[in-house]
Amino acid sequence: MTGDDRDQDGGLRPATLAIHAGEGPAVTGAPVAPAPVRASSFHTHPDAVGFSANDLGADAPHFYSRWSNPTVQLLEARLAALDGGAAAICFASGMAAIAGLFADRLSAGDHLVLSEVCYAGVAELAQDLLPRQGIAVTLADTADPAAVAAAMRPQTRLVHVESPANPILRLTDIAAVAEVAHRGGAELSVDATIATPLGLRPLTLGADHVVHSLTKYIGGHGDALGGAVVTDAAHAAALRKGSLIHLGGALAPDSAWLILRGLETLAPRMALHQENARRLAAFLAGDPRVDAVFWPGSADHPQAALAARQMSNFSGLLSFTVRGDAAATARRLAERLQLFAYAVSLGKTRSLLFYIPTDDILRASFRLQGAAAQRYRDWAGEGVFRVSVGLEDAADLIADLDRALG
Ligand SMILES: *Cc1c(COP(=O)(O)O)cnc(C)c1O
């Protein structure tokens, strides 16, 4: 199944929404492609808008580009439609979006339950910065709804998960964890960067907020940073006033334009990312130098049934472990790969590969110990090779990896 197969809301399917949602009326002489509006401020009138963000009305005209901007607004409309949310707020990066959501939803004395495996920057933000603001954080294996339930406290306001989770592609059952969060009086936010709205629509499964790094598949070309939170109208208004206007991490109009350009081809790109990942995963699974392969679309993914139930595209990110000395393999791949860039990030046209040593990520980012560290090691061994499978011909990618694995 691909994302295009689903009918939704008003009847328009994701591939169509990615191109048309939020567009203006077809007035004669109007451009058929959006242009970036590079203005920092807009003509106004004393009766139109107050000077303070606290007086910002829902339908206020554009005033200052940190508050709103026509190019960013079009992107927000398109993202909201794709996720089936009332509204989206864009930020300068995925981290700005997540930090903005945490700042809006959490106050001193509150408690956050966080996926014990997630984007390293989020793990570090939650463990370094939030405690200094009086916010307690508990890490939990969100692949197990009972573990989330056990981590809940009376002060828990937010449960934040990532599915699939970077870098081991472990999944969270969104509907089950939403139920646990809501039963405990908390909200659920889901980082769906890796799945994209073509693969996972957490709001329809009961989540309260979805976050995306637009830098990845949605922008798709590795040339712009951006982030977004998709949520209901009231939370979006609060996010705009507090986290966007006051913390100030606004998305630049040129970046919004690049991301809109990328978004137009999200559906066909995700179909091809998925197909190439399927072929690469099959090659790796049959290779004696490889120990394990993790890709949600594989029949032998530990949560294959959940993946099939919850996802409509399995995306192009996979990870694998090798037999023998993984660090030596990493050096060999960095030196020999020709088509894959040995580089961080994911979700762009070009294929990328990066080695993540288990000791390093457990110590510097996740800080897991005991059973939690062991759970991570059970998947990752001494380290995982994270592969963002791009849009090159899969046969060429397989040949490049085969040669470089030596
Ligand atoms: C990249 C990424 C982020 C952070 O996004 P930036 O745009 O780099 O700030 C957050 N979550 C996930 C899953 C990511 O892959």
Structure tokens belonging to residue 189: 């936010």
Residue nearest to atom 8 of ligand 1 (CA): 94
Delimit the domains of the chain by residue range. 14-18+62-264, 267-405
For the CA of 226, the nearest atom of ligand 1:
7
Reduce the DSSP state of residue 295 to 3 states and report it.
coil
What pLDDT does 10 receive? Answer: 59
CA of 52 to the centre of ligand 1 (A): 31
What is the rounded distance in angstroms from the CA atom of residue 195 to the CA atom of residue 143? 16
- The per-residue pLDDT of the chain, averaged, comes to 95
Q: Which long-range contacts (CB under 8 A, 24 or more apart) does 118-121 make?
A: 118/160, 118/161, 118/162, 118/165, 118/166, 118/191, 119/94, 119/162, 119/166, 119/191, 119/193, 119/213, 120/166, 120/361, 120/364, 120/365, 120/366, 121/95
Mutation choice for ligand 1 from 79, 101, 213, 225, CB with most ligand atoms inside 8 A: 213
Please name the CATH architecture into which domain 267-405 falls.
Answer: Alpha-Beta Complex (3.90)
Q: Which carries the bigger pLDDT value, residue 61 or residue 290?
A: 290
Q: Report CA(214)–ligand 1 centroid distance (Å).
A: 8
Residue 223 CA to ligand 1 centre (angstroms): 14
Query: Which protein residue's CA is at the shortest distance from atom 6 of ligand 1?
Result: 94
Q: Is 357 helix (H, G, I), strand (E, B) or coil?
A: strand
User: pLDDT tens across 136-152, in order?
Assistant: 999 999 999 999 999 99
* φ/ψ (deg, to 5) at 154: -60, -30
**Which residues line the pocket of ligand 1, CB cutoff 6 A?**
93-95, 119, 121, 162, 166, 191, 193-194, 213, 215-216, 225, 227, 346
Question: In CATH terms, are 14-18+62-264 and 267-405 the same topology?
Answer: no
- Per-residue model confidence (pLDDT) at position 390: 98
Give the CATH architecture of domain 14-18+62-264.
Answer: 3-Layer(aba) Sandwich (3.40)
Quick one: tokens of 173? 């059952």
User: Which positions are annotated as active-site residues?
Assistant: 66, 119, 191, 216
Render pLDDT for 287-296 as a digit per residue (tens, 0 to 9).
Answer: 999 999 999 9
